[in-house]
Structure 1
Amino acid sequence: MGEYATVTDVIDRYEQPLTPEQRNRLPALIEDVETALLATVPSLPARITARRTRREAVRLVVITMTLRVLRNPAGYRSEQVGEYSYTLDSAVSGGRLMLGRAERVLLGLHTPARSVPTTDEALPRPVRHPGHRRRGHWFGDHTH
């Protein structure tokens, strides 16, 4: 069972009955989603503890990402019947699980387009990236 979402959470939100194959695959899929989410946002547990991200929001993101793959496991974007053709969605094809913009907003990770965070205050000691340092100042620090 997942740490942030359960099989029941996903089943309750799926619009049709699951097949036995889907039901058997669901625990592993939830685990994969949570693993991908933690790999993308390693500071997530610290953000929850620091109350910068709500646990309920993480649950919703895990459910949403799981449903996205459950509804479209092959990652189809479009399909044509006459002279069969299909296009794969690069965000889900190959089993990749992507954290979309809406999910980033729910997790409190969304920043304005021109802002690139160089620290994460939810970490015990904020980390600054050394590549953002210029002439003795942090990137964006225009004081002399």
Structure 2
Amino acid sequence: MTYASSADVAALLARELDAAEVALVDRRLEQVERMILRRIPDLADKVASGEIDQADVVDIEAEAVLRLVRNPDGLRSETDGTYTYQLTDEAADNRLRLTADEWQTLGIRTNKMFGIAPRLVTPAGPVPFYQGG
């Protein structure tokens, strides 16, 4: 059973879900929970110990599914006469995913940065690495 429910998604959406939407939301909630469990297999223990706030897990699962419910067809823009509505690529990609901020709330760092610098050796000796400035 997932932490979030279709009622949590409906509350964020600020409207009732029809039967087809409830079935979709329930299925997608199961998917997002499995996604979280792949990275945090001891999620239940961390929630029980208070290391991860259960309300945060509910919110994160519901928000991830809400992004799909709001834009089920993955539309990036829509025009009607002089009115145009456009979503960012991230908001319109129609993929079930968690944002870097959501992963961070769950204790997972996703913005690992590293660099690889070649060590060039010439007949005159090593070439110093330029670090900018």
| TM-score, length of structure 1 as denominator length | 0.57
Unaligned 5+ segments in structure 2 are 115-133
Q: CA deviation at 1:80?
A: 4.9
Whole-Å separation in 2 of the counterparts to 1:61 and 1:52: 16
Letter in 1 for 2:66: L
Unaligned 5+ segments in structure 1 are 116-144
Sequence identity, in percent?
Answer: 28
Structure 2 residue aligned with 1:74: 73
The superposition leaves residues 3-45 of structure 1 with CA deviations (integer Å, 9 ceiling, x where unpaired) of 2011222222213333442133221121122122222433433
The superposition leaves residues 75-133 of structure 1 with CA deviations (integer Å, 9 ceiling, x where unpaired) of 23334568xxx99946764x632110221232233477659xxxxxxxxxxxxxxxxxx
The alignment's C-alpha RMSD in Å is 3.3
Whole-Å separation in 2 of the counterparts to 1:3 and 1:23: 14
Whole-Å separation in 1 of the counterparts to 2:110 and 2:35: 21
Whole-Å separation in 2 of the counterparts to 1:108 and 1:13: 23
Q: How does 1:35-114 map to 2 (within 5 A)?
A: 35-80=34-79, 89=89, 93=93, 96-110=95-109
Whole-Å separation in 2 of the counterparts to 1:63 and 1:77: 22
| TM-score, length of structure 2 as denominator length | 0.61
What is the number of equivalent residue pairs in this alignment? 110
Q: How does 1:11-26 map to 2 (within 5 A)?
A: 11-26=10-25
| Structure of greater Rg | 2
SS in 2 for 1:70: helix
The superposition leaves residues 48-85 of structure 1 with CA deviations (integer Å, 9 ceiling, x where unpaired) of 24432111111110011111111112223334568xxx
